[in-house]
Amino acid sequence: MRNEKLELLEGLVGSWRLTLSDAWFLEPRGVEVFGTAEVSWLGDAFLVMKCDLDGDLTMVFGRSDANDAYTALYQDDRGVCRVFAVTLDGPHVEFVRKDPDFHQRFIGEIGPDRILGRWEASEDRGATWRKDFDLTYDRV
């Protein structure tokens, strides 16, 4: 039986075209990077997102009922592993990690066929944030 709160993520299931843009680290200014994402259920308890965006990455979404909290586990082909706290408030989604190396967050708005968001980083424990890049998901 699927968890009622996880069922709220059903709208993410499917195939997506990704566009990474307005990245401070890409030259020349204005260049875009394109990729794909596939989101599917893993049993009744988890969602798995596999992305190909200038490298492969996987995120697994789950939930702790006792803590009333969503969590995302991240892994990419560089061998990087991270844990994000995830909050949903209607169409607004936020992933946040507060690790000793740096803080990072994704802030997005979920529509039926498009997710508009941006990744940000903070080297001063969240006192100030800089945008890394915009990331758009368009349903295929």
For 72-135, the DSSP string reads EEEEETTS-EEEEEEEEETTEEEEEEE-SS-EEEEEEEE-SSEEEEEEEEESSTTSS-EEEEEE
pLDDT surpassing 90 at residue 74:
yes
Q: Is residue 39 part of a domain?
A: yes
Q: Is residue 17 part of a domain?
A: yes
pLDDT surpassing 90 at residue 42:
yes
Q: What is the pLDDT of residue 13?
A: 95
Residues 73-92, mean pLDDT to the nearest whole number:
96
Q: Is residue 37 part of a domain?
A: yes
Residues 5-28, mean pLDDT to the nearest whole number:
93
DSSP bridge pairs for 84: 72
DSSP bridge pairs for 114: 138
Domain count, the chain: 1
Residues 11-30, mean pLDDT to the nearest whole number:
94
Q: Is residue 85 part of a domain?
A: yes
Q: Is residue 50 part of a domain?
A: yes
Q: What is the pLDDT of residue 2?
A: 86
**Residue whose token pair is 């592993």:** 81
What mean pLDDT value characterizes the chain?
95
Q: What are φ and ψ of residue 64, in 5° steps? A: -110, 110
State percent of the chain over pLDDT 70.
100
Helix H or strand E segment including 5: none
Q: Is residue 113 part of a domain?
A: yes
Residue 75 confidence class, pLDDT cut points 50, 70, 90: very high
Range of the domain at 128: 6-139
Q: What is the pTM of this model?
A: 0.93
pLDDT surpassing 90 at residue 4:
no
pLDDT surpassing 90 at residue 17:
yes
Q: Is residue 114 part of a domain?
A: yes
pLDDT surpassing 90 at residue 77:
yes
What CATH number did the domain enclosing 71 receive?
A: 2.40.128.20
Q: Is residue 1 part of a domain?
A: no
pLDDT surpassing 90 at residue 123:
yes
